[in-house]
């Protein structure tokens, strides 16, 4: 029975996948692996990149090998999508598609499917990929009882070109404090723990430490 798998890749990080594709095509012939194809949306407002793997009479070890290869390559299995859905999308030409018959096809066809270069290529040319104003920041974990002391060190951190996440200024009015603190920690590149007796006796500070 035919079985298909749809994987989602990252448009801007793709070259490393060629080795996985070649290994799959080298080890699995058409008696099991019926098709390996990619679907690429080159619309710069909606870059998309998917890989379709279709088995005719799948061998269990072949499927396991494919899943292991693709998971290790950072691809995401999309069980909510089917090959039939992609075939239907061809009607409005949303995707360009290409099937690979053998290892040699990977080098010949793969990069020709993409209109825009990878992120690393842009970085090598000096492009900065982080949007302005979204630089990584410093999160200051502290007891509310020590807020005046902590607030005094912020200008010194800013003076070293370090943006600071500080609850007094960074949490919008009416927003969930717990959610905003969690988000602040996740988006911060480093955390300063302002450790005092007040900090050690604060359950909230302990939560922030564990979260980080």
Each of the 212 residues of the chain gets a pLDDT tens digit; together they read 458 999 999 999 999 999 999 999 999 988 889 999 999 999 888 889 999 999 988 788 899 999 999 999 999 999 888 888 878 877 776 788 999 988 899 999 999 999 999 988 988 888 876 656 666 788 888 998 998 898 888 888 888 888 888 777 777 767 777 788 888 888 888 889 999 999 999 988 888 888 77
> Which pTM was predicted?
0.65
What distance lies between CA 54 and its chain's CA centroid? 25
Separation CA 201–CA 212 (nearest Å): 18
Q: Which pLDDT does position 126 carry in this prediction?
A: 85
Indicate the length of the chain as a whole number. Answer: 212
- Dihedral of CA atoms 70, 72, 77, 82 in degrees, nearest 10, equals 0
- Is 132 within 8 Å of 125 (Cβ atoms)? no
Structure-token pair, residue 130 = 């982080």
- Is 37 within 8 Å of 51 (Cβ atoms)? yes
Q: Which residues of 18-55 are buried (b: 16+ CB within 10 A; e: fewer)?
A: eebbbebbeebeeebbbbbebbbbbeeeeeebbbbbbb
CATH topology (fold) of 137-211: Rossmann fold (3.40.50)
């Amino acid at each position: 029975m035919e079985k298909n798998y749809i994987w989602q890749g990252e448009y801007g990080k793709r070259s490393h996948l060629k080795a996985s594709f070649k290994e799959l095509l080298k080890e699995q012939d058409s008696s099991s692996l019926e098709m390996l194809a990619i679907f690429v949306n080159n619309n710069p407002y909606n870059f998309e990149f998917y890989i379709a793997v279709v088995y005719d009479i799948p061998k269990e070890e072949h499927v396991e090998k494919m899943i292991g290869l693709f998971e290790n390559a950072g691809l995401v299995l999309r069980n909510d999508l089917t090959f039939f859905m992609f075939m239907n999308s061809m009607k409005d030409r949303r995707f360009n598609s290409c099937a690979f018959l053998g290892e040699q096809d990977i080098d010949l066809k793969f990069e020709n499917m993409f209109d825009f270069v990878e992120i690393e290529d842009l970085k090598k040319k000096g492009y900065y990929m982080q949007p302005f104003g979204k630089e990584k920041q410093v999160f200051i974990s502290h007891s509310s009882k020590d807020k005046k002391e902590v607030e005094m060190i912020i200008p010194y951190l800013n003076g070293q070109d370090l943006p600071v996440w500080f609850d007094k200024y960074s949490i919008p009015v009416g927003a969930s404090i717990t959610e905003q603190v969690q988000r602040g920690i996740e988006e911060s590149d480093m955390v300063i723990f302002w450790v005092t007796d007040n900090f050690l006796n604060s359950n909230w500070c302990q939560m922030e430490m564990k979260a980080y």
